[in-house]
Amino acid sequence: MQFDTWVEFVDMGGHGLYVWLSFAIAAGIIIINVMLPWINQKKLIGSLQRKFQREGDLK
């Protein structure tokens, strides 16, 4: 462990803002990259289900 207290850990020797900002942006980008296609998949499957149901009703 490199830090003795929480304050030291958050402060990062005065570079806290830079370090935490970098890690936060990285986390945001990674989450967006996984969540967006995941949400799109749910939407796509839902719309395909409705489409096939409609086609089934017509027959």
Partner 1 sequence: MNMQKKQLMPKWFYQMASPKWCYKITGKLLPLFSCTGLALLLLGTVWALLYAPEDYQQGNSFRIIYIHVPSAILAQSIYVTMALAGAVGIIWKMKIADMVAYACAPVGASMAFLALITGAIWGKPTWGSWWVWDARLTSMLILLFLYFGVMALYAAMGKPSRAARATAILSLVGLVNIPIIKYSVEWWNTLHQPATFSLTEKPAMPVQMWLPLLVMVLGFYCFFATAMMLRLRNEILSREKRTNWVKELVTKV
Using CB under 8 A as the criterion, which residues of the chain lie in contact with partner 1 when the complex forms? 1-3, 9, 12-16, 18-19, 21-23, 25-26, 29-30, 32-34, 37-38, 40-41, 44-45, 48-49, 51-53
* Closer residue to partner 1 (CB): 45 or 58: 45
> 23 or 58, CB closer to partner 1?
23
> Would you say 19 and 12 are in contact if contact means Cβ atoms under 8 Å apart?
yes
Residue with tokens 């989450």: 31
Min CB(58)–partner 1 separation in Å? 14
- The answer for residues whose C-beta is within 8 angstroms of residue 16's C-beta and 6 or more apart is 10
The whole-angstrom separation of Cα 4 and Cα 13 is: 12
